[in-house]
Structure 1
Amino acid sequence: MIDMIEKEDNVISEEEAAQYDRQIRLWGLEAQKRLRGSRVLLVGLRGLGAEVAKNLILAGVKGLTLLDHEQVTEESRRAQFLIPVDADGQNQAQASLERAQFLNPMVEVKADTDQVETKSDDFFLQFDAVCLTGCSRDLMVRVDQLCASKNIKVFCGDIFGYHGYMFSDLGQEHHYVEEKAKVVKPSEQANDGPEVKKPKIDLNETTMVKKTASFCSLKEALEIDWTSDDSKARLKRTPPEYFLLQVLLKFRTDKGRNPDPCSFAEDSLLLLQIRDDVLEAMGVNPELLPDSFVSYCFSEMAPVCAVVGGVLGQEIVKALSQRDAPHRNFFFFDGLKGSGVVDYFGAK
């Protein structure tokens, strides 16, 4: 069964139909109506957050709340195109509001300047999807567990220099439809040999297939037992960015910030120590992350934000519209290689 997000005014007006004409042709009216009925919370308005905000606003969600308590700095706006150049010292969410709203006046965009850690559980439960960028591991796990109990979709993402990731938890049963080429069965009266009896694919005609996907929680995905036989077998197929993420989340927990280019030498040594401690505790060889990783995980890079933000924004759109197969669960991007990889960490 494909669920519809029921809202009081989930009807596409003529003006909206004209605005979203291309999208409606691409993924259908019902998918656009689901988007039109969805409210999203976006936490973190640096480079990645700006990319996600742009994609969601242009897609036509009903409402988007931009939540960020930090102030604009020269460093924080280098990869952030929604913030004016003269906005240093202003709140990042508030400074992004005008340009974000200008992208699509039909979307209700709000700025919230509170610190996300101070928000009550009820605050998160008013949204259909929550996207967390630049957040601590503890906060992401807390929000994911909270939202899972209410069937609210959760996404996480971040940029670390040349590297970026996204994670999605759409619950135990995420329903969606996928367009497939129609299979034409041969006529029972055909008697021209075995080749005629094989089903044929008609590329000119498609059909919508209903499917269901199951997701594990962020806590489960981050706490894999790498000493088990099953995990050891898949270790070679696991991208090193997964372990890089573990190191950087631990750095953020210990220091309350990301690695800072202004303290490159000090933070590089700390990153190497954290790598050794974290990977050894996980039962994984620290050499999976060569020492050179510390040179490529500082600050945000605009091209990496664009790639990861494009994937993350599209995954939120797919999840809310219930159209097309979602990624499960991680997407990692390595800007040094110019490539991304999807990996699935299933629940035990």
Structure 2
Amino acid sequence: MNNSAMKVVDKTTDGITEDEAELYDRQIRLWGLDAQKRLRGSRILVAGLCGMGAEVTKNLVLAGVKSVVLLDHREVTEIDTFSNFLAAPNSVGQNIASASEERAQALNPMVDVVADPTNIEEKTEEFFKDFDVVFLSRCKREQLLRINNICRMNGVVFLAGDVFGQIGYMFSDLLDHSYADEVKEKVEVPGQSQTVEETRIVRREESFIPLSQALDVDWTTPKYASQLRRTSPAYFIMQVMMEFVMLHGRLPDPSRRDEDVVEILTIKNALMDKMNIPPEKVKNDFAEYVFGQLSPVCAILGGVAAQEIIKAVSQKDAPLKNFFFFNTLEGAGIVECIGH
């Protein structure tokens, strides 16, 4: 732990120091002191330091969580330096988690930022139990499912997401989540023939499902057959890209564009057939737009994921349930509740 962070911990009496209260004044006014205290005590794992992972890290460090562990075994590539602003341009060839640590720490000395350059596939259940929230990116589907299951067994909030060129997603599993919601209502003024609007706080509950259930949907059932028309094609594109990564151990490579486009469309057609989805639900032109990581898409998806982590930890405001998709081809983001 760095010296600045150690001083903060030593000075803490009720969870927030005078220095922190001054630094976080604007957000304390926004979501309250109790919510900030919860954030200050939260331990977050960010696995996968791609562009989206960097955006999530930035937003959480600035929000004032207790600690963030940056986990990634990969080396920085030239493409990474365009989407991950935490890794300096001269860090190509270095471990990407270690290369991202210094800039992440500089964002807020009051947060303990630690880099872990090991492979997530080597991590056991005990490792994940040490966190309040786990966020995964750049992981194979089998690892997403494995770690989501570990988190559920140990009461750890789980989120995942990725960006494929101009398209991306975020998934959240907040378990059985309780939160405070503001409700505005009209009340009569005693002795007067008028009403005023007041805000009161109510406690609400939301139950989430694991990623496995959200991915394994029978679209031939009446419930989902009627929902299919309204479901974003990005949900199925996400499934195609997960299958591509599982088969090839990598994301689509711009240097192999022609062959990868053919492979992506082959996977798409097979997957649509397996899921009993009309192939025209996902237009083939998407395969041209899933290369690299577009920084604005990373910023949007990373901002939404960090927002949902802050909601989960602070227990403030209604969470998104359970997918968020952004597709530049559609020009908008969309929330989808799938699998419930």
TM-score range for the pair, normalised by the shorter chain length: over 0.9
Deviation string 1:113-167 (CA, Å, 9 cap, x unpaired) is: 0000110111011000000011111111111111111211000000001101100
Query: Equivalents in 2 of 1:82, 1:136: separation in Å?
Result: 23
Q: Is the 8 A contact 2:53 2:302 kept in 1?
A: yes
1:337 Cα deviation from its structure 2 partner: 3.1
Say if 1:34 and 1:273 are closer, same or farther in 2 by CA, change over 3 A.
same
Q: Percent identity?
A: 47
Contact residue 39 and residue 128 of structure 1 kept, 8 A:
yes
C-alpha separation between the residues in 2 aligned to 1:269 and 1:337?
Answer: 23
Are residue 240 (structure 1) and residue 233 (structure 2) matched? Answer: yes
Tell me whether 1:108 sits opposite 2:112 in the alignment: yes
- 2:92 alignment partner in structure 1: 88
Q: Structure 1 unaligned segments of length 5 or more: list them.
A: 1-7
Q: C-alpha distance in 1, partners of 2:339/2:286?
A: 27
Q: Offset at 1:345?
A: 1.6
The answer to whether the aligner puts 1:333 opposite 2:336 as a matched pair is: no
Q: CA RMSD in A?
A: 1.5
Q: What is the distance in 2 between the residues matched to 1:319 and 1:225?
A: 29
**Structure 2 counterpart of 1:30, one-letter code:** D
Query: Residues of 2 paired with 1:84 and 1:57: CA distance?
Result: 18
Looking at structure 1, the residues matched to 95 and 305 of structure 2 have their Cα atoms a distance apart, in angstroms, of 24
CA–CA distance in structure 1, aligned partners of residues 308 and 99 of structure 2: 26
Q: What TM-score do you get using the length of structure 2 for normalisation?
A: 0.94
1:175 counterpart (174, 178, 193): 178
Shift of 1:186: 6.8
Name the CA distance, whole Å, in 2 between partners of 1:288 and 1:10. Answer: 54
Amino acid of the structure 2 residue aligned with 1:20: Y
Other structure's SS at 2:76 match:
coil
In structure 2, what is the Cα distance between the partners aligned to 1:254 and 1:152? 29
Call closer, same or farther: CA 1:9–1:124 in 2, change over 3 Å.
farther
Q: In the aligned structure 2, how far is the partner of 1:65 from the partner of 1:207? A: 37
In 2, Cα distance between the equivalents of 1:103 and 1:267? Answer: 38
CA contact (8 A) 1:159 1:305 kept: yes
Unaligned residue ranges in structure 2 (runs of 5+)? 1-11
Equivalences for 1:1-348 in 2 at 5 Å?
11-171=15-175, 173-185=176-188, 200=195, 202=197, 205-347=198-340
Amino acid of the structure 2 residue aligned with 1:219: S
Quick one: distance in 1 between partners of 2:13 and 2:311? 21
Q: Distance in 1 between matches of 2:248 and 2:299?
A: 27
Given that 2:49 and 2:71 are in contact with CA atoms closer than 8 Å, whether structure 1 keeps it comes out as yes
Secondary structure of the corresponding residue to residue 111 of structure 1: strand
Distance 2:311 2:66 in 1: 15
* Closer, same or farther: CA 346–250 of 1 in aligned 2, 3 Å: closer
Task: Give, in whole Å, the separation in 1 of the partners of 2:331 and 2:306.
Answer: 19
SS at match of 1:340: strand
Output one character per residue of 1:301-327: Cα deviation in whole Å (capped at 9) or x when no partner.
Answer: 111111111111111111111100000
**Consecutive aligned runs of 4 or more in structure 1 exceeding 3 Å deviation:** none
TM-score of the superposed pair, with normalisation by structure 1: 0.92
3-state SS of paired residue (2:154)? coil
Aligned 8 A contact 2:215 2:339 in 1: no
Q: What secondary structure, in the 3-state scheme, does the structure 2 residue paired with 1:76 have?
A: helix
Contact 1:215 1:346 in 2 (8 A): no
Distance 1:209 1:76, change over 3 A: same
Deviation per residue, 1:177-197 (Å, 9 max, x gap):
01222431476x88x8xxx7x
Give the residue type in structure 1 aligned to 2:215.
L
Question: Take 1:97 and 1:28, find their aligned partners in 2: how far apart are those partners?
Answer: 29
**TM superposition shift of 1:336:** 2.7
Equivalences, count: 329
Shift in alpha-carbon separation, 1:304–1:77, aligned structure 2, 3 A: same
In 2, the alpha carbon distance for the partners of 1:177 and 1:10 equals 21
